[in-house]
Structure 1
Amino acid sequence: MILSTGYLLIFAAMSKILEDWEQKAKDKQKANKQFLQKLQTRRGKGVEKLLPDLHEEAFSHIDCMDCARCCKSISPRFKAPDIKRISKYLGMKEGAFIETYLRIDKDEDYVVKSSPCPFLGGDNGCSIYDVRPGDCANYPYTDSYDFFKRPNITYENSTICPAVFYILEKLKDTMKM
């Protein structure tokens, strides 16, 4: 298979950004938070139009099944429709589902009782993937305005998800802020 020069350049740049990304993300947390706050005050100013392409670029090389850091370290919110759908899928009453798997966090949201997520399999697959919570389906919010809307969550996610870190780095390079 012959790869185009453009593809090879993107791959090389991506490899450089993602090399030791966990440490870089921790080291750059303050700068990333400030960058996101600046973007938020500018209300995106067209930057959100870059997200779908950057999202596609990032996930063309990052396989969630190789990582699953989100499922291993954070919990989605389980909203009422999620609880209803998942408990039905599992053949459980909603109350039993809540009692077995969920707790209420400081924000008064239902979240899983412990990490990793009880629905995460040894192969990093999700046993409730087809009915997973909305937060899971939308994570890591790298293709929507939510990426800018909640800068604290996005910069924290940059230490959990390599795609978030990658997209932040590409945006900072593009914006030169």
Structure 2
Amino acid sequence: MNLDLYKKQALQKQKEHKKFLDGIKKKPPKNLDYIVQETHDEVFENINCLQCANCCKTTGPLYTEKDIERIAKHLRMKPADFEAKYLRIDEDNDKVLQHLPCFFLNSDNTCSIYEVRPKACREYPHTDRKKIYQINNLTMKNTLICPAAYEFVERIMKNLAK
């Protein structure tokens, strides 16, 4: 998987993608949620996250209190010790990883805490959300990181053009 090529294509298509997503926000098609789910499923039939893991290498998830408690318990740690060892507070006052790539990313791109991973990781790249137009800025950002998000926007443009 050529991540540089994806990012280059995504950068070239930013204006086109933004215009398209803004159009959906202004006038969402009646069956948008259905099309989004269908397109998401289609994309993930062809893309294997384990070949990439770019999200784990370049972007850190936000950790909720529930995430911290669940993961700390799994690691047999106190939540405060987990936070001290792995997390920091960012400029938005969110709890995020101290540094990247993710501490829990294995060399084969698997996740050592997959069963208890943060909610943000479970939902990434957020291409199966209802009312997807509510996260247009995030979708745009994700097309630069995630080949599946890029592919999703490309396909949804084609699917809605039908």
Q: TM-score, normalised by structure 1?
A: 0.83
Give 1:146 deviation, angstroms: 5.7
Give unmatched runs, 5+ long, in structure 2. Answer: none
Deviations 1:105-154 (A, max 9, x none): 22221111111111101010101101000111111111112632111110
**2:85 matches 1:100:** yes
2:105 matched residue in structure 1: 120
1:60 matched residue in structure 2: 45
1:136 matched residue in structure 2: 121
CA contact (8 A) 2:56 2:101 kept: yes
**2:54 matches 1:69:** yes
- Output the amino acid matched with 2:26: T
Q: Kindly tell me: are residues 44 and 155 of structure 1, through their superposed partners in 2, closer, same or farther at Cα, counting changes over 3 Å?
A: farther
Structure having the higher Rg: 1
Question: Moved runs in structure 1, 4+ residues, more than 3 A?
Answer: none
Of 126, 149, 158, the match for 2:143: 158
Give unmatched runs, 5+ long, in structure 1. Answer: 1-17
**2:16 matches 1:22:** no
**2:35 matches 1:50:** yes
Moved more, 47-56 or 113-122: 47-56
1:15 matched residue in structure 2: none
Q: How many corresponding residue pairs?
A: 158
CA contact (8 A) 1:29 1:156 kept: no
CA contact (8 A) 2:86 2:97 kept: yes
Of 153, 156, 159, the match for 1:171: 156
Give 1:163 deviation, angstroms: 1.1
Equivalent-residue separation in structure 2 for 1:21 and 1:147 (angstroms): 22
RMSD: 1.6
Give 1:43 deviation, angstroms: 4.0
- Output the amino acid matched with 1:33: K
**2:63 matches 1:78:** yes
Q: Kindly tell me: are residues 65 and 83 of structure 1, through their superposed partners in 2, closer, same or farther at Cα, counting changes over 3 Å?
A: same
Instruction: Give the SS at the match of 2:9.
Output: helix
Moved more, 67-76 or 144-153: 144-153
Equivalent-residue separation in structure 2 for 1:32 and 1:83 (angstroms): 35
